Amino acid sequence: MEALVVKDLRKDYGKLHALNGVSFSVHEGELFGLLGPNGAGKSTLIKIIPGTVKSNGGTVSLFGKPVDRKLIGIVPQDDSLYNELTVKENLMFFGSLYGVSKDKLNKVSNQLITMLGLKNKKNALTKTLSGGMRKRLNIGCSIMHEPKLLIMDEPTVGLDPESRRLVWKIIRDIHNRGVTIIITTHYMDEADMLCDRVAIITKGVVAAIGSPDELRDSAGEDVIEIETKSGQLDALLKFSEIIPDVTSVDIVYKTLRIKTFEAEAILPKIIKYSQKIGEELTNVNVRKATLEDAFVILTGGTAEIKKSNKKLSGIPKVEEWKK
């Protein structure tokens, strides 16, 4: 069964088209990721799903029916906790907003305190918590009413690595309870680690949908990364453009990035040419394409990228992912 079905969703803010006919579905029990650069339409989309913002067209259905807000939990990027309440009081307060009975409030809040790793902070005022603890409590408040769909807006933004991993564990624990989860994130490793499938959104449309492995495969080629002592890469870029079997060349943060299916044959040519022009190479790396590579290709690049004129090939269209 589909937990969520979005069809031809559109949203305009004056002349700005935030969403241009977005369509996708999320399977029941799935952990689904939404990736996209700033301004792609992700925030607008996750506000329309629960009805916080009205669309200009299209439909949203939840478990085959019109959206019932009580079935949805929302974890906002900025927490909405009450600093003068304790950890348990916050959980019970937010649960009460959804009509959870007093007996159940006590039981569920105690269970969540243990799951969130906040047992020793149960009676501590929220204002005394660290950022990571607040994030975990924020998640707990969003599931006090045991929603069937949980929407998380960049759940680990601003957290240190250890806190991120604790939040990842909590997300997995919630997912293992059978809750369908949608997360937005800018972290490629987070999407790779957590998500069953990912939708990449750019300029208000869905560019591709698939598992992290499928999206990586869409980038396809090996990637040769080269850095030079001088930091000057234009000559190597121009040379790489004319080598047969190079599918794309760009410069990202002073690193020449060459994509090809023939890395073993092409790399010696690059090295020989660099020696010819007297350009000392300080770092040479050959790796498989990553989810970030697929993201950059599908969104047209969000970093400081200088591209070659060669056209990319082998990038699947949205329709192909639906087959």
Q: What is the pLDDT along the chain (323 residues), one digit of tens a residue?
A: 899 999 999 999 998 999 999 999 999 999 999 999 988 999 999 999 999 999 999 999 999 999 999 999 999 999 989 999 999 999 999 999 999 998 899 999 999 999 999 999 999 999 999 999 999 999 999 999 999 999 999 999 999 999 999 999 999 999 999 999 999 999 999 999 999 999 999 999 999 999 998 998 877 678 899 999 998 899 999 999 999 988 888 888 889 999 888 888 999 999 999 999 999 999 999 988 889 888 887 887 533 333 333 333 333 332 332 23
Q: Which of 210, 230, 264 is the last residue of a domain?
A: 210
Q: Work out the end-to-end distance of the chain between its first and last CA atoms, rounded to an integer number of angstroms.
A: 17
Smallest Cα–Cα separation from 163: which of 116, 210, 119, 209? 116
Tell me if 188 sits within 8 A of 156, measured CB to CB. Answer: no
Q: Which of 154, 188, 210 is the last residue of a domain?
A: 210
Tell me if 119 sits within 8 A of 137, measured CB to CB. Answer: no
Place of tokens 């394409």: 289
List of residues 6+ apart from 90 with CB closer than 8 A = 81, 82, 126, 137, 141
Number of domains the chain is built from: 2
> Which long-range contacts does 268-276 make (Cβ < 8 Å, 24+ apart)?
269/243, 270/224, 270/226, 270/236, 270/239, 270/240, 270/243, 273/236, 273/239, 274/226, 274/228, 274/236
Tell me the torsion sign for CA atoms 90, 94, 99, 100.
negative
In 3-state terms, what secondary structure has residue 304? coil
CATH number (domain holding residue 186): 3.40.50.300
Model pTM score: 0.81
Phi, psi at 93, each rounded to 5°? -65, -50
| Domain identity same for 107 and 185 | yes
CATH number (domain holding residue 235): 3.30.70.100
Query: Which structural domain range is residue 62 located in?
Result: 2-210
Paired with 31 in beta bridges are 181
| Domain identity same for 138 and 14 | yes
Structure tokens at 277: 């022009």
| Domain identity same for 81 and 165 | yes
321 occurs within a structural domain: no
Q: Which of 157, 175, 210 is the last residue of a domain?
A: 210
